[in-house]
Structure 1
Amino acid sequence: MALRVTFVAAARSSPLLAERFDDERPLDQAGWNEALRAAGDLLPLAAAELRYCSPTPRSRATGDAIGCAPLSQLALRACDMGRWRGLTLGEAMAREPAAVDAWLADPRSAPHGGESLLGFITRVGGWLDTRPGEDGDRIVAVAEPSVIRAALVYALKAPPGTYWNLDVRPLSTTTVTGRAGRWSLRFEGTPDQGATRPAFRGGNPL
């Protein structure tokens, strides 16, 4: 037996608003309504033995909307983007194009003065590896999509650059099973049941 950790991607605010680094905006009414619509499908997750969330307003609100009442975890915060915090990728590129190129190319670099991609992945992976629980216990974590991407890279022991090719959609679920250092990606359901499948695409930095 093994632990079962299901990540739920936080609902987002209006799709008309550009994604920003370290986005601390709360859910707007559209995002809240979207989370409530998904609550019926996600309600079984509220029975998990342990329930956590990223320390962002929209992660907390998403967890509350689906009935999880999650405990905030500092280790599940988004990557510290230093002086780029609050900027879109385009804005950061316009200000510091060479620094952005270096950041995208080297997972150990942190030209913004914050946290490197490798450091971010390692920090989230450390949280995953230290989850308490008995064999068969279920754990739920409502987190920002970027945090879930980092967790998947760590769990699969994939190269850090794989992070850029993972696309985690709002309110999607992703489950890993195992123990510290030995995690597997779990596929659940059938296509006609709306099974969650990992999606891949390149060039998405958030």
Structure 2
Amino acid sequence: MLVTLVAAARSSAVLDIRFGDDRPLDVAGWQALERAMPVLLPLAAAELRYCSPTPCSRQTGDALGLSPMAQPALRDCDMGRWHGLTLQEVTAREPAAVGTWLADPRSAPHGGEPLLSFVSRVGGWLDTRPIEGDGRVVAVTEPSVIRAAMLYALKAPPQSYWRTEVNPLSVVSLSGRPGRWSLRLG
């Protein structure tokens, strides 16, 4: 099975990225999506097409002709009371809590979901896709979800999450089967 993950086009400027950002695509996101379409349109041939429940993921998937089905398991990490705030805002208000969150993947000082639970949730979704063999799946979701999927697939240590970058409209493919995934580049 081949699972291709596409990072949704952006919904805000980098410095305005918010935890649990549920805003629709901004003008720059639409422009970037238009430029990327020739490369991404062939993904619509996948047997199964999904997206996270956010407006930017849905809009990206629809623009690519995927008509994706929203999957709650592909939503961003639940950031509890930090939802809607930027990292800069949270750091100014709760510097010790941010330090704990970055250092301990089992912690959830925001009252939401710990990093390890988030990675497990995304991995559980990946392992339960109903296609076997050479089937193809495509999902449009937030960069954080793609980072979690890569961490799960590679069985990488949790701190690797903070050292992985996924830009809007990036594409990452994972091949394999439940419990045995490989990162596929190129």
- The interval holding the TM-score normalised by the smaller chain is over 0.9
2:140 alignment counterpart: 142
Gaps of 5+ in 2: none
1:9 alignment counterpart: 7
2:78 alignment counterpart: 80
1:197 alignment counterpart: none
TM-score, normalised to structure 2, is 0.97
Gaps of 5+ in 1: 189-206
Pick which of 58-67 and 28-37 moved more. 28-37
Inter-partner Cα distance in structure 1 for 2:14 and 2:180: 39
1:122 alignment counterpart: 120
1:16 shift after superposition: 6.1
2:116 aligns to what SS in structure 1?
Answer: helix
**Structure 1 residue 44 and structure 2 residue 47: aligned?**
no
Deviations 1:124-176, CA, capped at 9 Å, x for gaps: 00000001113100100101000000000001000111100000011010000
Deviations 1:9-57, CA, capped at 9 Å, x for gaps: 0000243651110000100232122212211111110000000001100
CA contact (8 A) 1:39 1:67 kept: no
Inter-partner Cα distance in structure 2 for 1:130 and 1:142: 17
Seq. identity, %: 69
Q: 1:86 to 1:14 in 2, by over 3 A?
A: closer
**Structure 1 residue 67 and structure 2 residue 58: aligned?**
no
1:102 alignment counterpart: 100
Q: CA RMSD in A?
A: 1.0
| 1:156 aligns with one of 154, 157, 161 | 154
Inter-partner Cα distance in structure 1 for 2:103 and 2:26: 34
CA contact (8 A) 2:132 2:177 kept: no
Higher helix share: 2
CA contact (8 A) 1:22 1:79 kept: yes
1:180 alignment counterpart: 178
Tell me the amino acid that sits aligned with residue 144 of structure 2.
S
Count residues with an aligned counterpart.
Answer: 186
1:89 shift after superposition: 0.6
2:16 aligns to what SS in structure 1?
Answer: coil
| 1:93 aligns with one of 88, 91, 94 | 91
TM-score, normalised to structure 1, is 0.88
